[in-house]
Structure 1
Amino acid sequence: MLVALAVLAGAAFTIILVNSMGLLAFGGAPSLGEQLVLSAAVTAPLALRRRFPVATLVAVGILFIVVQARHIGDNLVPSIALFLAIYSTGAWERNRTVAKWARVGVIAAMFAWLGVGVVELLVTPAPDFPGASGPLNPVLATLLYGLAFNVLFFLSAYFFGELAWLSARRQAELEHGAEQLRRSQEENMRGALVAERLRIARDLHDVVAHHVSVMGIQAGAARRVLDSDPGLARTALDTVEETARTAIGELRGLLGVLRAEPSEGTSPAAQETPAGASHEASPGLDDLPELVDRARSASLDVTFAVYGERYPVSDGLALSVYRVVQEALTNVVKHASARIVEVRLRYLGTGVEVEITDDGRGALSPTKGQGSGLGLVGMRERVAVHGGELEAGPRRNGGYRVRASFPESSRRRVTTGAEAR
């Protein structure tokens, strides 16, 4: 709108000036009022050049021919209006095929109109060219000058309009890409938050549920033998006290891990046990005997055995093995009504396998409540982090079995290298 008003004001001002000076473009002109009306008509459609660029181009093209046919005093501002109409069609028309052929059609019409002027120039007596001193014929020079000027004029309008469209398109693509990237980052952040909450819930369940279950069993045993066997009751209460301290230590360590900033490029498995974390915060395979001892009581015999040649494993894998055993023993204490539990740790050529079996009745025991299933979900998540497999279910001869296989990539590399040699 502002551009249209500026061109309109320029047209009126120029018409008044050229008429006042008598420098009329065609040597003669209609009345000043008609010239002002025609100038306003040829520039007014520019107000709609962004919303209706093709319609504006057609209107300005027709009115431009009308203005020249009437031989108004000024030809500069109508030419500017035609330039802006061609430019706007290239810059704003969304249908690029329509934009292309509309501009080509109007430019062809303009050259046809120029041809009409050339024919008139050739059939009429040649005008005088005072001061002409060049090597070319004045009429030929006039024709060449008009042709060169119009080619440059229309090509410039077409080129800059197309350039504006391409620039706007690139800008829109960049903005769209930035918006997509922002949304992707938000989704990744939400996913990371959900994963972190699940990890916190899983670790809290592993740490708290096991120790509280052991404390409950030991406290119940102490209550039953308090009068008949004070020594055994004292031993059970010592276990409760030691388990409580261990639980507090692991909770403090867990809070320290949660407050720590994970380093960039660290895998999810490695993030479970940050480098430099305390032993309490990241128990491993060497702590399994102590874990088994804490679960052992007068009514529950727990054994632990290691098979295969020991080799170092990653801290994250060791912690996951420990948590699987911890959760399995917790389930036995809470739900199985078992008397015998066997924990087997196997060092295999392709990784580590841990198996926990019992002779109980699982969650179907009439004296035990059925679990929520969160412990089994947590075990599956921990095993899945390392690309392992988890089997959990009743045994054919009674009891329950949990077996988790953890492939250890470093061990596989060592084994493969040895075989190659």
Structure 2
Amino acid sequence: MQLSEHPAVVRLRAVLPVAGEIVWAAGSLWMSSTLLHNWPDPYGYWRDTDPFAYVLLALVYLPLVLRRRHPVAVLLNTGLWAGVYFTLGYYHVVAACGLATALYTVASACPRKVSVRSAAGALAVLLWGTRLAEPGVVPMSMAFVTVATVVCWVAGDGSRRLRELTRQLRLQQEEKARRAVAEERIRIARELHDVIAHHVSVISVQNGLASYVLSSDPPTARKALDTVGDSAREALTEMRRMLLVLREDGPLPGPEEDRGPVAGLAGLDELVRRVGAAGVPVGVRVTGTPYELPPGIDLCAYRAVQEALTNVIKHAPGARTTVQVHYGADEVRVRVGDDGSGRAPARAPAGPGGAAGQGLIGMRERATIYHGTVTAGPVPGGGFEVGLRIPVPRPGGEDAHAVRTRRR
């Protein structure tokens, strides 16, 4: 348990503010009473000090204990008894501090509309008290109490605004934290889907094939089981890499090679081989001059191909499939289409108005991060096609998204 959460510390934090208010009120009353008792009055400017003067000072200062709980009521009480004190002609300065403290509290705790009216009322009481000033200094006394009132109000209002800004900042930070958690959950779900769905689909198909030909064709069954083992190991490797990325604040165990390489289009041949072993013939066509893609874009393109081929395995096993990768000057385009042979029950269209599975949703989310677009849907003559287009920032130039944005 942290020290700040200890019950004794919690109780102490709750008691300290109350104790502070009591000390403040009692100390202010003591200093004011002492000043009233000791202030010289050789010319008889003020009424002689009597017990009632001390009673009025107590009525001015002691209620300040409740000033934070009931700021307006305390200010009204303080202003009332200070006005009575001034009207009776006692030495006026000693009562002014209590009224200033109450005004500051109202300005720091209440809306500006309330605090402005309170400041006007407090100023009126203080100006009434200045009539008791020594001859010749009344104008200066009036100017002083006016400036003091304005300063107390500005200080209190500034404290209120600072507290509101602090609260808004805290709320914004909490909202950012909630958004960050939601985004991280989506990212984890997307990574888990991309890592698991493909390999599990391959394992499921190959396991079914091995079970079917286990007795009649042992070599084929053995090959299928080998593919199952390879897919399981690759899934574990990608899972390990993903978990290490997600655990950024933890130590990286093991040597670098244990983390496994980050997936990208360089692993396209291995992906095609694995899908081909699952019974889906895949042809690959690369156009343009290949160049090194940024890691995020490379992974996004690879996941798009992986998800599209996984959908072929699930929905159109045995369909002839083509993967096209085009390296443009400022973009990379990927298309994965099948001819529709061996199609399972119809897939839901994934166009702008259609429903899409979690894989296509994740694909679109990845593409959006890099200002890319995804299209998916049936094609004329049968079959299904998934397309991805992502602008690629090149050294010494601008990416296509930036250029289009500037032209608008």
What is the TM-score with the length of structure 2 in the denominator? Answer: 0.72
The verdict on how the C-alpha distance between 1:4 and 1:249 changes in structure 2, with shifts beyond 3 A counting, is closer
SS of the residue corresponding to residue 296 of structure 2 reads: helix
Aligned equivalents of 2:295, 2:136: Cα separation in 1? 82
The verdict on how the C-alpha distance between 1:53 and 1:362 changes in structure 2, with shifts beyond 3 A counting, is farther
Deviates more, 1:192-201 or 1:323-332: 192-201
Partner of 1:326: 306
Partner of 2:135: 146
* 1:36 is the counterpart of 2:51: yes
After TM superposition, the structure 1 = structure 2 runs for residues 195-210 of structure 1, keeping only pairs within 5 Å, are: 195-210=183-198
* Fraction of identical pairs, as percent: 31
Q: Which amino acid aligns with 2:372?
A: G
Partner of 2:350: none
* 1:26 is the counterpart of 2:44: yes
Deviations along 1:255-280, one digit per CA (max 9) or x if unpaired, are 22222359xxxxxxxxxxxxx88783
Deviations along 1:361-416, one digit per CA (max 9) or x if unpaired, are 766259xxxx9921121111111111110111111211111111111122792789
Aligned equivalents of 1:177, 1:256: Cα separation in 2? 38
SS of the residue corresponding to residue 282 of structure 2 reads: strand
Query: Displacement of 1:106 after TM fit?
Result: 4.2
Out of 62, 79, 89, the position equivalent to 1:57 is 79
Aligned equivalents of 1:339, 1:301: Cα separation in 2? 7
Q: Which amino acid aligns with 1:65?
A: T
* 1:310 is the counterpart of 2:253: no
Aligned equivalents of 2:145, 2:28: Cα separation in 1? 17
- Asked whether the equivalents of residues 215 and 240 of structure 1 are also in contact (C-alpha less than 8 Å), the reply is yes
Query: Displacement of 1:87 after TM fit?
Result: 2.8
Query: Displacement of 1:231 after TM fit?
Result: 3.2
Q: Which amino acid aligns with 2:26?
A: L
Partner of 1:405: 389
- Asked whether the equivalents of residues 8 and 40 of structure 1 are also in contact (C-alpha less than 8 Å), the reply is no
Aligned equivalents of 2:221, 2:173: Cα separation in 1? 57
Task: Tell me the number of residue pairs that the alignment of Structure 1 and Structure 2 aligns.
Answer: 350
Out of 377, 381, 387, the position equivalent to 2:361 is 377
- Asked whether the equivalents of residues 123 and 145 of structure 2 are also in contact (C-alpha less than 8 Å), the reply is no
Q: Which amino acid aligns with 1:2?
A: A
Aligned equivalents of 2:195, 2:299: Cα separation in 1? 12
- Asked whether the equivalents of residues 202 and 378 of structure 1 are also in contact (C-alpha less than 8 Å), the reply is yes
SS of the residue corresponding to residue 337 of structure 1 reads: coil
Deviations along 1:110-138, one digit per CA (max 9) or x if unpaired, are 56677xxxxxxxxxxxxxxxxxxxxxxxx
Q: Which amino acid aligns with 2:194?
A: D
Out of 208, 213, 229, the position equivalent to 1:220 is 208
Partner of 1:98: 117
Out of 5, 22, 26, the position equivalent to 1:2 is 26
Deviates more, 1:4-13 or 1:277-286: 4-13
Partner of 1:157: 145
- Asked whether the equivalents of residues 336 and 365 of structure 1 are also in contact (C-alpha less than 8 Å), the reply is no
Partner of 1:268: none
Decide which structure has the larger Cα Rg and report it.
1
Partner of 1:136: none
Aligned equivalents of 1:237, 1:254: Cα separation in 2? 26
Partner of 1:188: 176
- Asked whether the equivalents of residues 351 and 412 of structure 1 are also in contact (C-alpha less than 8 Å), the reply is no
The verdict on how the C-alpha distance between 1:28 and 1:105 changes in structure 2, with shifts beyond 3 A counting, is closer
SS of the residue corresponding to residue 271 of structure 2 reads: helix
The verdict on how the C-alpha distance between 1:251 and 1:113 changes in structure 2, with shifts beyond 3 A counting, is closer
Aligned equivalents of 1:241, 1:259: Cα separation in 2? 27
Partner of 2:220: 232
Aligned equivalents of 1:37, 1:7: Cα separation in 2? 17
The verdict on how the C-alpha distance between 1:261 and 1:60 changes in structure 2, with shifts beyond 3 A counting, is closer
Query: Displacement of 1:342 after TM fit?
Result: 0.9
Aligned equivalents of 1:166, 1:277: Cα separation in 2? 64
Query: Displacement of 1:327 after TM fit?
Result: 1.2
Query: Displacement of 1:336 after TM fit?
Result: 2.0
The verdict on how the C-alpha distance between 1:181 and 1:225 changes in structure 2, with shifts beyond 3 A counting, is same
Provide the alpha-carbon RMSD of the alignment: 3.7
SS of the residue corresponding to residue 409 of structure 1 reads: coil
- Asked whether the equivalents of residues 210 and 221 of structure 2 are also in contact (C-alpha less than 8 Å), the reply is yes
Query: Displacement of 1:230 after TM fit?
Result: 3.4
SS of the residue corresponding to residue 410 of structure 1 reads: coil
- Asked whether the equivalents of residues 352 and 407 of structure 1 are also in contact (C-alpha less than 8 Å), the reply is yes
* 1:364 is the counterpart of 2:345: yes
Q: Which amino acid aligns with 1:53?
A: L
Q: Which amino acid aligns with 1:250?
A: E
Alignment gaps of 5+ in structure 2: 1-24, 68-72, 108-113, 251-255, 348-354, 401-408
The verdict on how the C-alpha distance between 1:42 and 1:411 changes in structure 2, with shifts beyond 3 A counting, is closer
The verdict on how the C-alpha distance between 1:65 and 1:172 changes in structure 2, with shifts beyond 3 A counting, is closer
Deviates more, 1:105-114 or 1:340-349: 105-114
Partner of 1:84: 97
- Asked whether the equivalents of residues 287 and 325 of structure 2 are also in contact (C-alpha less than 8 Å), the reply is yes
Out of 258, 282, 288, the position equivalent to 2:246 is 258
SS of the residue corresponding to residue 312 of structure 1 reads: coil
Alignment gaps of 5+ in structure 1: 69-74, 115-144, 263-275, 417-421
- Asked whether the equivalents of residues 89 and 99 of structure 1 are also in contact (C-alpha less than 8 Å), the reply is no
Deviations along 1:36-91, one digit per CA (max 9) or x if unpaired, are 3355347634545753435643553354333x4xxxxxx54x4422x236534653
